[in-house]
């Protein structure tokens, strides 16, 4: 089975200028995700798709394949799915499985990517996403009314007895190419999940989330790189 990683990393960013190449613990932010893909034992090839020649140059120096993305697929309105479909059209030997990794969610343990791939195999699934479990007192708003959705406010409990809520942490998506082409979506068919730890929830889109993610990255370095604490 041919498994490839595709990492979208466009040049523009409103929240943080040049976010994907911004220094993150000594390296450009994008470099950590690229290296995590390269360290996978199951991924045969890694591609970066970008409209930025600077990003493509950095990726090329690291040793991954690069795909120049058209500007019309690199603006705020363009979906990641459109970028991946374009990338697929540029890959000569078509993959059987795509591992889609977001640069803005770098809090992956050393074996997370391979464990997620194996989970998809074990579940005989067509697609997979990574989730983080959270136990929080969460409310929702509907028709100007707020109501709790994770607990009964008339019988308040402690955190251990809250309903489990799961967040997409944006870290790992895996899918068969035919799923993407059929649904124009990274998820479809039989969907499996890979559960990651709560500290691995990260989506860098502004300076606050960048700083918060960096603090967690430094704190959990031994876990991320597989070193003994």
pLDDT in tens, 18-42: 999 999 999 999 999 999 999 999 9
Tokens of residue 90, six digits = 């540029």
In this prediction, residue 65 carries a pLDDT of 96
In this prediction, residue 155 carries a pLDDT of 81
Domains recognised in the chain with CATH numbers: 3-222 (3.90.550.10)
C-alpha distances (whole Å) from 77 to each of 63, 71, 108 are: 30, 11, 27
Cβ–Cβ contacts within 10 Å for residue 38, how many? 14
Nearest to 159 by CA among 180, 134, 183, 140: 134
Residues 6+ apart with CB under 8 A from 138: 148, 149, 150, 165
Alpha-carbon span 205 to 65, nearest angstrom: 25
Give the residues of the chain that fall short of pLDDT 50. Answer: 228-229
Mean pLDDT of the chain: 91
- H or E segment and range at residue 181: helix 177-183
In this prediction, residue 227 carries a pLDDT of 53
Alpha-carbon span 103 to 85, nearest angstrom: 18
Alpha-carbon span 45 to 58, nearest angstrom: 17
pTM (2 d.p.): 0.91
pLDDT by residue (tens digit) across 78-114?
788 999 999 999 999 999 999 999 999 999 999 999 9
């Amino acid at each position: 089975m041919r498994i490839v990683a595709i990492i979208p990393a466009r040049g523009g960013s409103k929240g943080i200028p040049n976010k994907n190449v911004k220094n993150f613990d000594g390296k450009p932010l994008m470099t950590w995700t690229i290296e995590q893909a390269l360290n996978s034992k199951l991924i045969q090839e890694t591609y970066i798709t970008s409209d930025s020649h600077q990003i493509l140059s950095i990726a090329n120096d690291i040793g991954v394949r690069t795909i120049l993305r058209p500007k019309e697929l690199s603006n705020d309105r363009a979906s990641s799915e459109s970028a991946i479909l374009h990338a697929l059209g540029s890959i000569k030997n078509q993959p059987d499985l795509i591992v889609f990794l977001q640069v803005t969610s770098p809090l992956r343990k050393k074996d997370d990517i391979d464990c997620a791939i194996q989970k998809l195999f074990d579940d005989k699934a067509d697609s997979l996403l990574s989730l983080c479990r959270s136990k929080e007192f969460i409310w929702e708003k509907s028709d100007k009314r707020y109501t709790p959705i994770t607990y009964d406010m008339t019988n308040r409990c402690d955190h251990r007895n809250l309903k489990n809520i799961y967040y997409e942490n944006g870290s790992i998506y895996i899918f068969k190419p035919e799923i993407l082409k059929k649904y124009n979506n990274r998820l479809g068919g039989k969907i499996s999940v890979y559960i990651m730890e709560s500290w691995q929830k990260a989506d860098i889109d502004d300076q606050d989330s960048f700083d918060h993610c960096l603090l967690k990255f430094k704190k959990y370095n031994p876990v991320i790189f597989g070193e003994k604490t």
